[in-house]
Homo-oligomer: A and B are copies of this chain.
């Protein structure tokens, strides 16, 4: 037996063990409370396994998030083939909570990757691209393609469609530039800057739109108040955060200086802000983003990571470099070896974020697509989504490749999905419209990497 065959047999037997678990699970409905907790363990394992299998799309140059969505769509639509095994996942309240927590953690991460100083440095170019890239798709979605292609829906549904068209996914765009080592070119800088501004504008729009739906407010004064509240919350958290965060870090460091404290402090701030945002009528993710924005690594300089330092010291010893400049090297390494707060949050995100995307995929009803009209509408809206961002790219300053900037802004990614799922949660977005938005996200996410890939490889630096 060759090694290769044996390795496949082993792998298949693992999948078999999981499958056996799933079969046992589906036969054990109506379990005791304790048993159902264990069942939730199994469903989480199934979701994570599915997400990782979806990650195979990376082999074809596609972002992992796309694979997670697609595998979710497959799992959720196995009912069309008469397979009801995975239906309980959608009814599990705990998994729903974990998905919600996942998206909060994701926006916290995006906030952590941005920071206030960086946002100030973003030039006029990025600002213009961001504004046009938000306003144009929003107006087109809400007042043109929405009412044209899907007439008869309530106005709030069009608002959510427009909102879902505004966001740019920082993650996907940054990933493509990074993978090709082109993060430093001006086009990349403008796209990233604009994407960060887009995030903030998108979240403000989300807050306004959500509030309009919840409170039913459409008066200008009301919109103004919501807008003011959203901006006040963001600006307020940033100002308060800038004042508070350093002292907070110092105080907590007096209890413990380990990375456990660093991590826990960050999570506490994230959760409290998510809660407060919800209390004052904004989405929890707005709070999580604000929390990430104000937590700058510098506030965590009191916390050290003993693991890395230990490993490196051992490595230094092994390197037989003992008597040569070792002190210098050691000092410098010690300075750089603190584990960043982003790195600490990452495992939590690995655990929770895929649950959100796979679950979002599972909520897509392929049955809705048997209607040729829905597919046409989805494609039309995707075209609008792409055109809106290409026009935005055209307002970028001189001396840069405007097409590249436009294409870089196209992927809607996670933020668009978050809008759709909040709209669905509020009962504003129908299954049909939800499917249309998800298809738009899939299309915009799918077309960007290959096109950008070709453009960047032509690009000479």
A residues contacting B by CB (< 8 A) are: 6-8, 10-11, 13-14, 17-18, 21, 24-25, 28, 34-35, 37-42, 44-45, 48-49, 51-53, 55-56, 58-59, 64, 93-94, 97, 100-101, 104, 243-244, 247-248, 250-252, 255-256, 259-261, 263-265, 267-268, 271-272, 274-276, 278-279, 284, 307-308, 311-312, 314-316, 318-321, 324-325, 328-329, 331-333, 335-337, 340, 343-348, 350-351, 354, 425
Contact = CB atoms under 8 A, between A and B. Distances in A.
A11 B260 contact: no
Contact of A94 (B93, B104, B321): B93
Contact of A17 (B276, B319, B337): B276
A314 B343 contact: no
Given A93-B94, A316-B333, A248 B10 contact: yes
B319 A325 contact: yes
A342 to B, nearest CB: 9
Given A275-B39, A284-B41, A321-B329, A350 B260 contact: yes
B319 A97 contact: no
A168 B51 CA distance: 38
A279 B319 contact: no
A97 B37 contact: yes
A323 to B, nearest CB: 10
B332 A316 contact: yes
Contacts of A267: 45, 48, 350-351
Given A10-B248, A42-B272, A52 B264 contact: yes
Nearest to A354: B264
A241 to B, nearest CB: 10
B10 A244 contact: yes
Interface centre among A35, A276, A329, A348 (most CB of B within 10 A): A329
A14 B268 CA distance: 11
Contacts of A14: 244, 248
A279 B26 CA distance: 12
Contact of A328 (B34, B255, B275, B321): B321
Given A52-B255, A93-B94, A346-B347, 17 more contacts: A8-B251, A11-B248, A18-B272, A34-B425, A37-B97, A38-B274, A39-B275, A41-B271, A45-B271, A45-B275, A48-B271, A52-B268, A93-B93, A315-B329, A315-B332, A324-B324, A348-B348
A445 B347 CA distance: 30
A445 B90 CA distance: 43
A297 to B, nearest CB: 12
Given A55-B255, A311-B336, A41 B324 contact: no
Contacts of A347: 263, 344-348
Contacts of A94: 93-94, 97
A36 to B, nearest CB: 10
A61 to B, nearest CB: 14
A316 B328 CA distance: 9
23 contacts: A10-B243, A14-B244, A35-B278, A38-B274, A41-B272, A41-B284, A45-B268, A48-B267, A48-B268, A48-B271, A49-B268, A52-B252, A52-B256, A52-B264, A58-B256, A263-B351, A264-B350, A264-B354, A312-B312, A315-B333, A319-B333, A329-B329, A346-B347
Given A93-B93, A307-B343, A21 B324 contact: no
A53 B255 contact: yes
A342 B256 CA distance: 20
A284 to B, nearest CB: 5
A212 to B, nearest CB: 16
Nearest to A349: B260
B351 A333 contact: no
A74 B274 CA distance: 26
A88 to B, nearest CB: 14
Contacts of A40: 97
A247 B328 contact: no
A23 to B, nearest CB: 11
B333 A13 contact: no
B41 A274 contact: yes
